[in-house]
Amino acid sequence: MTEQLFLADAYRKSAPGVVQRVTEEGGVVLDATIFYAQGGGQPGDSGALDWEDGRMRVATSVKGENGEIILVPEDASPLPPVGAKVDQRLDWERRYALMRMHTVLHLLSVVIPLPVTGGAIGAEKGRLDFDMPEAPEDKAVLQGRLNALIDRDLPVSESWITDAELEANPGLVKTMSAMPPKGAGRVRLIRIGAEGTGQVDLQPCGGTHVRSTGEIGKATLGKIEKKGRQNRRVSVMLDG
């Protein structure tokens, strides 16, 4: 199992690591990593590994078996040997853009309180699909509500509950297309706003987020597209 350093500190840009193995396909597994593995609509992180006499560019990061995170090299990148001590560095600007986008999509699910049927997170554009038979009457009103939540500079924090607690509170799960992973004994929750009366949102999520909504910046809603009989797709773009 790879230790997921990004869960403890999503703002960590670099970290040491030791190569545990190289997969048959040429992926690299470290003992601990700051690279988020693709999942939940969020792309895998990119960056680089440096060691004594080499450098590998990391194209993306994916989940392997038994809790491993596999770092996928760009074409023609050299591979570090097993046992090598490496310095891992994120493509930070891209990661931070994904953190901002992931957080604003949580807020979008607040201003549109309907079941989420799908989603995708990009550095420049993100989207959620909703079980929404009819399009909203005024997109500008939704955009205004979304930016009002951002401007409140609400804290974003995490907590953990057991699998049994999640089963007892099914309303926490907003996404119909991807259930939160269970089986490890506990599930991570992301809270926006202060616990209690100041709470705006609480849902299971394993992704990376900013510390406060004020870091998101201004959000613009794109065209609301019809996708099937009841699904509608709402896209978001961020300034900067």
Q: What is the DSSP string of 19-51?
A: EEEE-TTS-EEESEESPPPSBTTBPPP-EEEEE
On the 0-12 / 13-18 / 19+ scale of CB atoms within 10 A, 19 is: buried
Q: Which one, of 139, 162, 150, 167, lies nearest residue 213 by Cα?
A: 150
End-of-domain residue from the set 90, 107, 139: 90
> How many residues appear in the chain?
240
Does residue 154 share a domain with residue 206?
Answer: yes
Does residue 99 share a domain with residue 83?
Answer: no
Does residue 112 share a domain with residue 29?
Answer: no
pLDDT confidence of 197, banded at 50, 70, 90?
confident
Q: What is the CATH number of the domain that holds 177?
A: 3.30.980.10
Contacts of residue 223, Cβ cutoff 8 Å, sequence gap at least 6? 235
Rounded to 5 degrees, what are φ and ψ at 38? -50, 130
Q: Which one, of 108, 103, 104, lies nearest residue 139 by Cα?
A: 108
Domain count, the chain: 2
Does residue 100 share a domain with residue 85?
Answer: no
Does residue 125 share a domain with residue 171?
Answer: yes
pLDDT confidence of 182, banded at 50, 70, 90?
low
Contacts of residue 130, Cβ cutoff 8 Å, sequence gap at least 6? 112, 114, 115, 116, 117, 231, 232, 233, 234
Does residue 173 share a domain with residue 134?
Answer: yes
Q: How far apart are CA 108 and CA 113, in angstroms?
A: 8
The pLDDT of residue 160 is above 80: yes
The region of weakest confidence among 39-53, 121-135, 175-189 is 175-189
The pLDDT of residue 184 is above 80: no
State the pLDDT at residue 177: 60
Across the chain, mean pLDDT equals 93
The pLDDT of residue 222 is above 90: yes
How do residues 93-116 score in pLDDT, each as one tens digit?
Answer: 999 999 999 999 999 999 999 999
Does residue 102 share a domain with residue 71?
Answer: no
Overall average pLDDT of the 185-207 stretch: 92
Residue 10 belongs to domain spanning: 3-90
Place of tokens 């080499």: 54
State the pLDDT at residue 118: 92
End-of-domain residue from the set 90, 113, 146: 90
Does residue 110 share a domain with residue 78?
Answer: no
